[in-house]
Structure 1
Amino acid sequence: MAATSVESKVTEAGNGEPSSNPTVSDEDKKKAEELKEKANDFFKKQNYNEAIKYYSEAIEANPTVAAYYGNRSFAHLRTESFGYASTDANKALALDKAYIKAYYRRASANMALGKFKEALRDLKYVVTVRPSDKDASARYSECDKVVKRIAFERAIASEDTKCMADQINIDTMTIEDDYTGPKLEDGKVTDKFVKDLLQTFKEQKGLHKKYAYKILLDVKEYFQKQPSLVHITVKDGEKFTVCGDIHGQFYDLVNIFEINGLPSETNPYLFNGDFVDRGSFSVECIFTLFSFKLLYPNHFFMARGNHESENMNQMYGFEGEVRSKFSTQMAALFTEVFNCLPLAHCIDRKILVMHGGLPENPNTSLEEIAKVDRNRQPPESGIMCDLLWSDPQTLPGTSPSKRGVGVQFGPNVTADFLKRNGLDYIIRSHEVKDKGYEVSHDGKCVTVFSAPNYCDTMGNKGAFITLTGGTDLKPKFTTYDAVPHPKVKPMAYASPLFGLF
């Protein structure tokens, strides 16, 4: 009989059959199986949160079945709760060390977090046990390539290696006579250039590489001069807009501008990270945003998100998209530019805006945030990591992140941080919300997510926040639905490894 993929069936029980533990009654075992089947039905309907709920109830009724943890791990993978997914895989293996699917899912979680060596160990075990599983073998091979490539790149790297920006010679690049796209004027972004760029991208045409490189070099030079925490002043009566994740959904980005007006000196914006990845029009999004930054440097702001990093871009599509539409050299330059993006913004010294969440230590000061050395890839802990990765929770205190990176922080942590720093509330992004936004922690923590129908599957609305300069700066939410886009699926440029999760 031919071997089947270890991920072929969600409902497969594997080797994790119910234990003969006498403390679990037959009635509880039966109840747990019914709850598991109910969870499986929700999983098949892609309602992963409900699936997690019923898998959890099945585990409560009978905590001795490895498959329950394995299935819940799979559901956590689908909600990008990679930390929880790894924890459940570990629990499944504690019950049954031969439960193959748990190794697969732990590998998936580690892969999503860029922990390729850890993932490779689990995948090696899978292919050793199931050598005829072509799917597992293919993914092991892909993961092995990544590990070897990273090792090679580290071996040839040295401190005196020139940065990519220093290797770009724009003067040698020529503009072909048949190029009809937008053109910089005297090497500068103008209002006409940006409007032409938007129209060009809407028509699925491209920007010339010479102009693309010039924009990247100029915006890198600008961001390098900024602190990690940028202070913004909003004049009395002036409108200021904060947008959350865009994730390569260019046509929804254009829709924001159609609803709320194009950025200008009288219509300032802050885009709060995760401009790229997943959506397959990330190149169009980032050049649009960078162009507005160069056109209105004091009225258009951009913060780094967790997806403005090398590992995420390699896995979730941006690197592949840049290589497809431009070159590998440009993908490396993007990494350098992203390293220079500010980590947070403070509006009128009342609102702190960051992509992920608060630092684990509530005693962290704004001055400490401003001094963070950000010109690097995000570390796995510390202030920079937390600003990019963390999430709020309803319980007080802090706990390990469901994502496997950063922390989860409770309402008391938010309150303590705000009081210590003389702030009113925080705005963050980083999480899909059905309404496009959410207010939590007694009104002190606001989440905004601006990519509607995320990945063409979530069905959520997008939202942005408008503030009016003055005494209170209360957030006003505008929500909107997704708009049609050309028939290019999300994740079209993602790593082949993404099939793991």
Structure 2
Amino acid sequence: MAEQGDAVSATEIATSSVINDISAENKIKAEKFKDDGNDCFKKGHYSEAVGQYSLAIEWNPNVAAYYGNRSFAYLREEMFGSALEDATKAIKLDPRYLKGYYRRAAARMALGRLKQALADFETVVKRAPADQDAKLKFNECQKLYNKKQFEWAIHSEEKQISIFESINPETITVEDSYTGPRLVDGKVTLDFMQQLIPYFKDQKVLHRRYVTEMLVKIREQLVKTASMVEVTVPETSKFTVCGDIHGQYYDLCNIFALNGMPSEENPYLFNGDFVDRGSFSIECMMTLFGFKLLYPNHFFLARGNHETDNMNSIYGFRGEVKAKYSDQMYDIFTEVFNLLPLSHLINRKVLVMHGGLFSKPDVTLDDVKNIERNRQPPDSGLMSEILWSDPQEQLGLRPSKRGVAYEFGPDVTANFCSLNNIDYIIRSHEVKPEGYEVNHSGKCITVFSAPNYCDTIGNLGAFINFTGKDLTPKFVTFAAVPHPNVAAMSYASSMFRMLGG
């Protein structure tokens, strides 16, 4: 990439902080760690790459590229806050380091700060006018910014009308050539589900008439649901909690093979992030919605941070729905996602949510139950935190590396559990090598159910079993199973490529 263009400003020079007494030996050590980080990155081991780049920075904090590389690894981990911070540090060290502007623009875009991202891409274009990739990304960002501005203006001037007021599934004709599963009188039956699963496994598409009918029915069901659903598990009954599945349909089917098909005797809770990244998100979503319609009191779904428009527009769900159906169908899904519950309380002793706990120390279960959820998540507050927060081992709170919500320590968890008289929390949201992790003296459990995440990470998946009488979690781990030759992120948007994908 050419590094030419306008002169560096005095302000930029003044904000650059350089340590001058780095020995040649330390510089060599730093380069070795940087090279090791690059090797980890190429293998898709982004967390390990972050560690190696961090060691490089410890030995020589003067090199902008070390921060730029770590920013790139943070982007791949969706740690957008840390990616933004590192990119800014790289720019301060070397205002001519154009990759720093690329990385910062990517982080800002992921955080929805399109105007600031546009300014960074504009800087790259000015300083490297021959860089065609920079021009392409600047133009794409400009289009996205203009689109969002237009949508904001429309929504500000008009009361938003539900798309469900303008759709009627009965007007959608089912062609004679269609040979797939059919709803009878708009109802999901066990026979329908038994046909649907192998039909999806064969990479066939459910007719849009039936997808629309199911979405209308699931909306009718969810609109009556509280933001926190209370679930009673009988003493002798087994209950299963699953974490993120991220469009990995064949691994979802494997969960059912290992743990039994959903039924009134075999209830499940799937804890958000059903879509994005994996390229079979429609299949996952319609299978889960089907079981929710079939067993409304024994099959539960919680919203994750990826059941949101910003994430869906980047990481593939929007593109997949558009490819398999239409833009209008995506809008229908978006309205349904807005109504998904944010948490589940099991036997009044275990709280399950996608992300984590809160920045305020006095949040009660009633507060959680009363969160206004029928919207896109705001930048801050209870809804944002329950979808985005992560645990940390140090005490207290600190802003999340993701750039949204917080990281909360064992004292925060202990206080929340004591205040609300619960035993522990279950959350998802983070890939774990073994598919699960127990933190905070057993009071905070993470479960992640997408093995070999994005076809690259190599992690196991896991789910949790317990009974109503004994709420002690029992972990079942499993490896990924083969899937058709459609790679993860196949439907990701041009915005993802702008994030460095």
TM-score bin (small chain): over 0.9
Cross-structure match for 1:189: 188
Q: Is 1:115–2:122 an aligned residue pair? A: no
Instruction: Return closer, same or farther for 1:161/1:455 CA change in 2, 3 Å cut-off.
Output: same
Please state whether the residue corresponding to 1:240 is helix, strand or coil.
strand
Task: Look up the match of 2:122.
Answer: 124
SS in 2 for 1:235: coil
The 10-residue stretch of structure 1 (51-60 or 236-245) with the greater mean CA deviation from structure 2 = 51-60
Mapped partners of 1:78, 1:206: distance in 2:
30
| Cα deviation, residue 181, structure 1 | 1.1
TM-score normalized with structure 2 length: 0.94
Find the counterpart in structure 2 of residue 486 from structure 1.
484
CA RMSD of aligned residues (A): 1.8
In the TM superposition, residue 290 of structure 1 has moved relative to its aligned partner by 0.5
Cα deviation, residue 284, structure 1: 0.6
Counterpart of 2:112, as a letter, is G
Which residue does 2:235 correspond to in 1?
Answer: 236
Letter in 1 for 2:225: Q
Residue 88 of structure 2, aligned match among 87, 90, 96: 90
User: What CA distance in whole angstroms lies between the structure 1 residues aligned with 2:160 and 2:445?
Assistant: 42
Q: Does 1:257 align with 2:240?
A: no
The residue identity in structure 2 corresponding to 1:194 is M
Q: Are positions 1:322 and 2:321 aligned together?
A: yes
Which 10-residue stretch deviates more, 125-134 or 334-343? 125-134
Structure 2 Cα separation of the partners of residues 40 and 486 of structure 1: 29
Per-residue deviation, 1:26: 4.0
**Residue in 1 that maps onto 2:460:** 461
**Greater Cα offset, 121-130 or 96-105:** 96-105
Preserved CA contact (<8 Å) 2:2 2:128: no
Tell me if structure 2 keeps the 8 A contact 1:5–1:134: no
Q: Which amino acid aligns with 2:432?
A: K
Q: CA shift at 1:117, angstroms?
A: 2.0
Q: Which runs of 5+ in 2 are unaligned?
A: 5-12
- Measured in 2, the distance between the counterparts of 1:43 and 1:103 equals 20
Secondary structure of the residue aligned to 1:447 is strand
1:204 maps to a residue whose letter is: Q
Distance 1:272 1:38 in 2: 35
Change (3 A) 1:225 1:65: same
**Match for residue 10 of structure 1?**
none
Q: Distance in 2 between matches of 1:485 and 1:328?
A: 26
Q: How does 1:213-292 map to 2 (within 5 A)?
A: 213-292=212-291
Indicate the residue corresponding to 2:9 in structure 1. none
Correspondence for 2:64 = 66
1:99 partnered with 2:87: no
Q: How far apart are 1:68 and its partner, in Å?
A: 2.0
Q: Deviations over 1:314-367 (max 9, x none)?
A: 111111111111111110011100000000000001100000111112310000
1:166 pairs with 2:165:
yes
Aligned to 2:201: 202
Cα deviation, 1:215-252, whole Å, max 9, x if unaligned, reads 00110111111110000000011000000001111111
1:37 CA displacement: 3.2
8 A contact 1:5–1:135 mirrored in 2: no
- Which 10-residue stretch deviates more, 240-249 or 101-110? 101-110
Q: Secondary structure of 1:442's match?
A: helix
Deviations 1:167-219 (A, max 9, x none): 10122112222222111122111111111111211111121111111100110
Partner residue in 1 for 2:334: 335
Give yes or no for contact 1:5–1:136 (8 Å, CA) kept in 2. Answer: no
Distance across 1 between alignment mates of 2:36 and 2:458: 22
Alignment: residue pair count: 488
- Find the counterpart in structure 1 of residue 7 from structure 2: none
Pick one of 128, 132, 135 that aligns with 1:134.
132
State whether structure 2 residue 348 is matched by structure 1 residue 349: yes
Greater displacement, 24-33 / 490-499 = 24-33
Equivalent in the alignment of 1:434: 433
TM-score by length of 1: 0.94
Q: Deviations over 1:269-325 (max 9, x none)?
A: 000000011111100110100010011000000000000001111111111111111
The code of the aligned residue for 1:153 comes to E
After superposition, the Cα gap between the structure-2 partners of 1:20 and 1:215, relative to the gap in structure 1 and judged at 3 Å, is: closer
Contact 2:84 2:107 in 1 (8 A): yes
User: How do residues 379-390 of structure 1 correspond to structure 2 at under 5 angstroms?
Assistant: 379-390=378-389
Query: How many angstroms does 1:261 deviate by?
Result: 0.8
Percent identity, aligned pairs only? Answer: 59
Say which SS state the counterpart of residue 441 (structure 2) adopts: coil
- Quote the offset at 1:79 in angstroms: 2.1
Give distance in 2, aligned partners of 1:45 and 1:219: 40
The equivalent residue for 1:358 is: 357
Greater mean deviation of Cα atoms: 221-230 or 37-46: 37-46
Aligned residue type for 2:37: A
420-429 or 29-38: bigger deviation:
29-38
SS in structure 1 of the partner of residue 442 of structure 2: coil
- In 2, are the aligned partners of 1:431 and 1:447 still within 8 Å (CA)? yes
Distance 1:20 1:298, change over 3 A: closer
Distance 1:20 1:399 in 2: 27
Q: Distance in 2 between matches of 1:327 and 1:252?
A: 26
Q: Are the counterparts in 1 of residues 358 and 385 from structure 2 also a CA contact under 8 Å? A: yes
Gaps of 5+ in 1: 7-14
Q: Secondary structure at the match of 1:467?
A: strand
How big is the shift at 1:390?
A: 0.7
1:354 touches 1:429 (CA, 8 Å); kept in 2?
yes
Pairing 1:153–2:162 present? no
Cα deviation, residue 102, structure 1: 1.1
Distance 1:453 1:299 in 2: 28
